[in-house]
Each structure stands twice: as structure tokens, then as C-alpha cells.
Amino acid sequence: MMLGLSWTTQKKLARLGDVPEQRIKLEGEARAHLVEWPSPSSTFHVDLEEFLTMRFLWPSGSVLYEGGSQGGQPQGQGKVFLEDGTLWYEGEFWSGTMNGQGTLYREDGSILYQGEFSEGLISNGQEYYSNGAVKYQGQFADGAYSGRGKQYYPDGQLHYEGVFYEGLFSEKGRLFTPDGKLLYQGYFHKGLYHDEGILFAENGEVLHAGAFNHGEMVVD
């Protein structure tokens, strides 16, 4: 499960220090320096170490990044925008990469993800439905649910709690119906009931307690 933009686009925006120089423009506020253009064709050297805040611009002239900087790269608090001006990310950077606490936004302005980032990747936080309800809370790896977490229905009812791997239910967990009743508790493999577990009927009675094999009950 990938969040928002394509993974390629996410990685390009996450690592702003890797954007080719010829494809962007740079604006910034330098430390106690005044830059003057003698003529429109003049060239000069700018020491990027001196920039306190900076902007990267898309080729169209719209803002790609604005915020803190160090050594010519985003550092500290900053914002990333899509070329149409839509705010895509707001939060912390380290050495040009999203790192620390931050928020990802959808094109309509609603929050998509809020939490921790590590080296440009979401790592531990909350994903939201477009209505603002929490969709998932927990750990991520490579953009997918991975590790311990909780997944919710759009109305806020708990759907699953336990372990995920590559976006699927894995190892031990509990699965609930949309009305909050326990449906299954036990072990999963690639999103399916597998190994030991208990399957419940709607009235709470046990339908099967024992072994499962890739979603199928194992009956002696």
C-alpha cells in the first residue's frame, strides 16, 4: 500500500538534494550578504553554506521547497509543494531528506499521513481517510504497513489489530466485523488465516478452533 503519489515521485520529492541543478532555480536569504547583479548576463559565486532559508523552484517558477537550509540542502522545518502549488509535505528535514516528524497532504488539502519519517520514508504514524478518520496507526516499511499496527473502517470502528507484513495481515492478530464483533483471532500468512486460530460466527459462537491452511479450515 503506497501513500499518495507514485513511489518514484515520492522519492524524488523526499530527497530534494538530489534534484539536478539545471532543472531548478534557487532563492534564499543569506547570512549578512547582499548580492547585486551588475548586468542581466553576469555570473557570480554563491556560498550555499551561508543560506539560512531557501527556496527551490520548479522550472515553471512555482515553489518546490521553502524552509530551513544548511549546506545548500533542506534542513530543519520546511514545506514541499507540487508544481501546481498544492502543499504536499510539511515537517522536518535532515540533509535534504524528509526526516523526523511531518505531515503528507492530498491534493484536496486533507491529511494523508502524519507521523515519523526516516530517510525520506514514512516509518511510524497514522494514515487518514479523506473524511479525516484514522485508517491505519502503526509501523511502516517501504511505504507499506509493516510491523505492529491497527487498521480501521471509515467510520472509526477497529478492523484489525496485530502484525502486518508488506501491507498484509501477518503472524498474530485479531480481525473484527464492521459492527465491532470479533471475527477471527489467531495467526495469518499473507493476509489469510493460517496455522492456529479461532473463527467466530456473528452471534459469537465458535465456528472453528484449530488449524487453518491459507484461509481454509483444516478439519480432521
pLDDT of residue 201: 96
Which neighbouring-strand residues pair with 76? 93
Which element (helix H / strand E) includes 174?
Answer: strand 168-176
pLDDT of residue 21: 44
- What's the grid cell of residue 10? 515520492
What's the pTM value of the predicted model, to 2 decimals?
0.78
> What are the pLDDT digits (tens) for 5-14?
444 444 445 5
- What's the grid cell of residue 216? 481454509
**Residue 73: is it exposed, middle or buried by C-beta count within 10 angstroms (0-12/13-18/19+)?**
buried
All residues at 6 or more sequence positions from 9 whose CB lies less than 8 Å from its CB, including other chains: none
> What are the pLDDT digits (tens) for 123-140?
999 999 999 999 999 999
Give the residues of the chain that fall short of pLDDT 50.
Answer: 1-12, 17, 19-24, 29-37, 44-46
> What are the pLDDT digits (tens) for 208-219?
999 999 999 998
